[in-house]
A and B are shown apart, each in its own frame.
Chain A
Amino acid sequence: MEGAEDKYPTEPLKCWNKSKELRLKYYQDYVEAHDKGGLRWGGGAWTFDAVPAGLGDDVYPITSEPYGATLAFDKELSLECMEASEVKGYPRDLCSYMRNYWGSIIIDKFAFGYKDGEFMPRFAGAEPLPFPKPDFLWQDHICCSHAKWYQVVSELEGGIPTFSVDNAVGPAHEINDRKIKFVVEQLKEGIGFLEKTTGRDYNDELLYKAIRNHFVSTSKWAEICELNKAIPAPLDEKSIYSLYVFGTLQKAGQQVADFYEKDLLPEIQDRVKRGIAAVPNECFRVMSDTQPPWSFLKVFRYLEKFGCVSVGSLYTFALIGQWEVKEDGSWGPKTIPDVEFTSREQALYEYVKYELHKPEWQHFYSCHLKSDMMVRIAKEWKLDGAMLHYNRGCEGLSVGIAENRLALLDAGFPVMAFEGNNADEREFDEARTKAKIDAFMETLGAK
């Protein structure tokens, strides 16, 4: 096979190193929180993280899914974690992020540590720290595993105070005052839980600031992804994985809002203006779906041999990104609410109203809503096909995926389905997947 010839200029992302520093600092802040008198908490990537922010500027989260993915990237440690969970009796078809996370607690090894005084990942040579126990757990629940995940975490840790919020109140087009208020009331109750658990007074001004950060992070991330409609695409999905993650780590954090708005967005706008491609030989454009097999991201580089770029997915665009239909009928970033916060109740109401529109929450109510969004992406991002990861490691995002495949085919887009697991490398067949890619590329017309 010969590689496709370069057609466009390319260059590395200027903010790449900053993004790596930000990511490492996030975990370091969590680990060192207690040394500075601060607090640390655990919760999911979708949790309403602006709420614990009201406890102070020294309160640091660790979100479960990105941590599970981080472990997955460290194959040796991940295997140890998986096996430890299995020994405890947990079946291996459960969420693989969850099994990694539980395993990390059970074996008491964190994926980070220090080497010669420098904080770094274990796979980079650090001696792993014991798992840093959170002071409290603050979770959401829309997937069957979400609140149950932390029920088990609390049990494994000997009982950590836990509060989970039910955000599964219905699809965006059915949202009404009652549905919003059900979530708001839980968040208000949750603030009482946080005050009681931590002994701290709650600061509404910090809550307002965090909600504004949330609006910026989620809208600006969508704006960045919208720029990938350009040909050539300024970003490829393998790089996007390293960038979307900030929204899953701490979307209400000032550092995340600033990075997206002040660093990444201007740089991608500049790349589009100058015609800088992520993949210089771009000939074919595809999207993926669900989390990738984290231990095998090289399959995305394999695509590039054929001049194929995966420009993103509903997963990377909208797991955190917030979107809306614009006047011309196209998909664009959700407008940041132009609203002054005057009370806790009103701020929470605006926060919830905005968040319930999250595109990646809609398929929990109907896979057909997801199919519509995927077909929209395929059209607006000018795709030639889709590669759907039938992901054994995440039921929440794989639910309905077979119907999504049928809908894409009905809309005229070729689909390659490949089975794997986002965080359990034992369930990914690299050679078979590459063989499938070969056949798929041939279908698309690659030589």
Chain B
Amino acid sequence: MIEQFKEWEKNRHEYAKEWKERTGGKVMGYFCTYVPEEILYAAGILPVRILGSHEPQDVTEPHIFAMFCPFCRDCLAQGLKGRYDYLNGIIIAQSCLHIRQTFWSWEKHVGVEYSKFFIMPHKIQSKDAAEFLRGEMEDLKKEIEEWTGQEITQEALENAIAVYNKNRELMRQLYELRKEPNPPISGEEAMEITMAQQMVDKAEHNKALEELLAKLPSRTDRPSGTRLMIVGSEDDDLTFLNMVEKCGGLFVIDDHCTGSRYFWNQVIPEEDALMALSKRYINRPPCPTKDWEERKRIPHVLKLAKEWDVAGAIIMQQKFCDPHELDFVAIKKALEDNGVPTLFLEFDVTVPIGQFRIRAEAFLEMIGEEDLF
């Protein structure tokens, strides 16, 4: 059912190289989902999310102090090992401290034609944030035009926004199906699709998604299990999701930057396309680094939990991920106060699957207790 997405996710590098050869375009690696990809796409660039490989490695120790998160080290390892040697450029949007180290070390030790630290404001709750971000986007657009030697026309930008909006709309449709009592797709499969979404040309992803959405309603071999939510840091740990779903859980919703936060809201078109784009990134479900003074993640997470009718939530976080450590205490309390039991797990590059299985099974048993007795 989702072979195409799996193929893209598993062979992400082959896809990008093939795309490059096929189109003659540039490929840009990005480290954070606050990067306004639409500007790159409008310039004929393929944006690809740089993710780790979940393998132990020994190349990043001289570059990143070990108290920073395993994800940022895993990503850098990919660069140092030459797995992204096809990239023409890298870009990061200002978010957490951890991942920016990957960007800096990549700039210096891997090397690319173009690199950009994009200033995404932190105070997205400021009345002036959208206007400020619009200006930063305008500067980025000019820089990209200079780098590629091609003007990004209004038409190209509007087209890019339309392609991305379509992708978000289709992904929301997919996630809507997960509200069903017997969702036609597992959490692991949904993760494969969201990961592929961040690695391939959105137009191709749209086509595959439309085909999938047409097939899913008639799917008979539907997964089943206790309905779960997963909330936390960057998460592309398919092995973990697979394990929990084999133990009797079924992830039906998430709040991750590799998941729903990436595509949740659309660009609402307006005459000033950059302003419309800016408002989209300001108003998206926030990363904890940007969720202040008011905590807006909590009502969003509670809404997801309620609408997707979850029986429990797994709060996962990358080890040492301060932004999420600053959120999870409040999120855990909010979920539990609203009748959603939680299980907290700390992730590393590889997860102790045996230990986590025991904890996941115990959690699922605990959730099921009321039904039993």
A residues apposed to B, CB below 8 Å: 88-91, 93-95, 141-145, 147-148, 150-152, 154-155, 162-166, 168-170, 178-179, 182, 185-186, 189, 364-368, 390, 392, 395-396, 398-403, 406
Contact = CB atoms under 8 A, between A and B. Distances in A.
A403 B326 contact: no
Interface residues on B, range: 35 or more
Given A147-B122, A166-B121, A182-B121, A368 B63 contact: no
A408 B48 CA distance: 33
B292 A164 contact: yes
Interface string B38-64: 000000000000000000000001111
Interface of B: 61-65, 67-68, 94, 96-98, 100-101, 104-105, 107-108, 117, 119, 121-123, 126-129, 132, 135, 288-289, 292-293, 295, 320, 322-323, 325-330, 332
Nearest to B104: A367
Contacts of A189: 126-128
B323 A395 contact: no
Contacts, number: 124
B67 A141 contact: no
A144 B64 contact: no
Contacts of A144: 96-97, 289, 322-323, 326
A94 B325 contact: yes
Contacts of A179: 119, 132
A173 B65 CA distance: 27
Contacts of A169: 119, 121, 132
Contacts of A178: 132, 135
- 8 tightest A-B CB contacts, nearest first: A166-B123, A148-B326, A147-B292, A182-B132, A89-B329, A166-B122, A178-B135, A399-B97
Nearest to A155: B330
A368 B62 contact: no
Given A90-B329, A145-B326, A365-B117, A168 B128 contact: no
A312 B94 CA distance: 30
A93 B292 contact: no
A32 to B, nearest CB: 28
Nearest to B135: A178
A151 B292 contact: yes
A172 B77 CA distance: 30
Contacts of A150: 293
Nearest to A148: B326
A368 B132 contact: no
B293 A390 contact: no
Contact of A93 (B63, B64, B121, B325): B325
Contacts of B289: 144
Contacts of A88: 329
Contact of A396 (B97, B126, B288, B332): B97
Contacts of B65: 390, 398, 401-402
Given A144-B96, A395-B97, A403-B104, A93 B67 contact: yes
B135 to A, nearest CB: 5
17 contacts: A93-B325, A144-B97, A145-B326, A148-B327, A154-B293, A155-B330, A163-B293, A166-B121, A166-B122, A169-B119, A178-B135, A186-B126, A189-B127, A395-B98, A398-B65, A402-B63, A403-B105
B272 to A, nearest CB: 16
B126 A166 contact: yes
A91 B325 contact: yes
A76 B105 CA distance: 40
B101 A168 contact: no
A152 B291 CA distance: 12
A179 B139 CA distance: 12
A29 B105 CA distance: 46
B101 A367 contact: yes
Contacts of A90: 325, 329
A168 B105 CA distance: 21
B117 to A, nearest CB: 6
B292 A141 contact: yes
A363 to B, nearest CB: 9
Nearest to B131: A182
A142 B94 CA distance: 10
A400 B326 contact: no
Given A168-B122, A189-B127, A399 B326 contact: no
